[in-house]
Amino acid sequence: MNKFSTILFLSLFMLCENTHAQDLHFSQFFNSPLTTNPANTGFIPDADYRLGAHYRSQWTSILSSPYKTISVFGDAQLFRNTLENGWLGAGAVILSDQAGSGALTSTKIYGSVAYHQMLGNSSLLSAGFNLGWANKRIDDSKLKFPSQFNGKFFDNSIPSGVTFANTSVSYFDMQVGMNYAYFPKEDVYINAGFSIHHVNRPKETFFSNSSDAIIPMRYIGFINAILKVHPRVIISPNIYYTTQAKSSELVGGLIANYNLSEYGETQFIIGAYCRYNEAVIPMAGLEWKNIRFTFSYDVTTSSLNSFNNYRGASEFNLLKNGYYPENVDRQSLCPRF
């Protein structure tokens, strides 16, 4: 793929992304709970709180400055010892995304709240929402357009023919969601959730014509399970589906945790996922004393592999779970070693 084709392809991609306002996403969706569903806030079956960080790098084989997405989040259970058969969850997430050389960047900050109610001794129903502030900005001096190509290189002195009404846009955003968990015995845990993003239908555009600038609502559904199939093995199958405007994504796969120690302090993690018609995603990681590190890589299987030579995106996730001092002996709702 020559330089002109690469830049043309990415320029068109960026403009399409801006036009339809497709959301950021992670292949390790299960390790980004607050961006998947606000009802996941405080929805922590094996801990009282968690802290996480996520990093995704995409198109390193095509660009010297690849697309980079960073997420930092934290959430916790509140009033679990006060409310009868329920508790409150509170959390926050910060997202930062940079497209290539920094021509297009975005920052999002959300605060989320959820309520969780036990239904008998073996199920849990949750509902939550989040409110956030989002900003997207563009540096037009770093953009290249086909009209600026003089046959040898891109000449910024040539007018691009594109006029921006502004180079920074901010808006408030809102998501809502629900979760249900079922745990009939200590070796089985199943949960499913559904969420709707951008329910307030915010506007996002750099152009003066804002008639089509409303961000389409995004719908996300998922089913997870945690199953202890051996004294040293816990498997976690997952399936995830999202749709927004005319785009959709279906991801499914399985993770296996293998206990390397007596009480599960050290675990080896391995798994694989498939994004339908797009990529195969192998994953590996290690957990030590409730600190988990996982790495995954998107191997492109779609027609885009002719551009990136099958090299898609890499992701790193760091997650810390913990109990409050007074709850160290609390029984987990999901299988544990």
Rounded to whole angstroms, the Cα distance separating 42 from 327 reads 15
Spacing of C-alpha 275 from chain mean position? 14
- Residues linked to residue 238 through DSSP beta bridges, in sequence order: 224, 253
pLDDT grade for 220, boundaries at 50, 70 and 90: very high
Which of 43, 24, 39 lies closest to 104, judged by CA?
Answer: 24
Which pLDDT score, from 0 to 100, does residue 307 have? 65
Say how many Å lie between the first and final Cα of the chain, rounded: 50
Q: What is the pTM of this model?
A: 0.86
Specify the CATH class of 3-327 in words: mainly beta
For residue range 97-126, what is the model confidence (pLDDT) as tens digits?
Answer: 987 666 788 999 999 999 999 998 899 999
Rounded to whole angstroms, the Cα distance separating 150 from 147 reads 8
Domain ranges of the chain: 3-327
Residue type present at position 252: G
E strands, 208-335, in order: 218-230, 233-244, 247-259, 266-275, 279-288, 291-300, 311-322
For residue range 256-293, what is the model confidence (pLDDT) as tens digits?
Answer: 999 999 888 999 999 999 999 889 999 999 999 999 99
Record the tokens describing residue 131, joined without a space: 């409110």
- Residues linked to residue 49 through DSSP beta bridges, in sequence order: 76, 322
For residue range 53-64, what is the model confidence (pLDDT) as tens digits?
Answer: 999 998 666 666
Query: Contact at 8 Å (CB) between 266 and 287?
Result: yes
Which pLDDT score, from 0 to 100, does residue 1 have? 43
Count of alpha carbons within 13 angstroms of residue 112, beta-carbon side? 38
Which of 111, 191, 101, 192 lies closest to 141, judged by CA?
Answer: 101
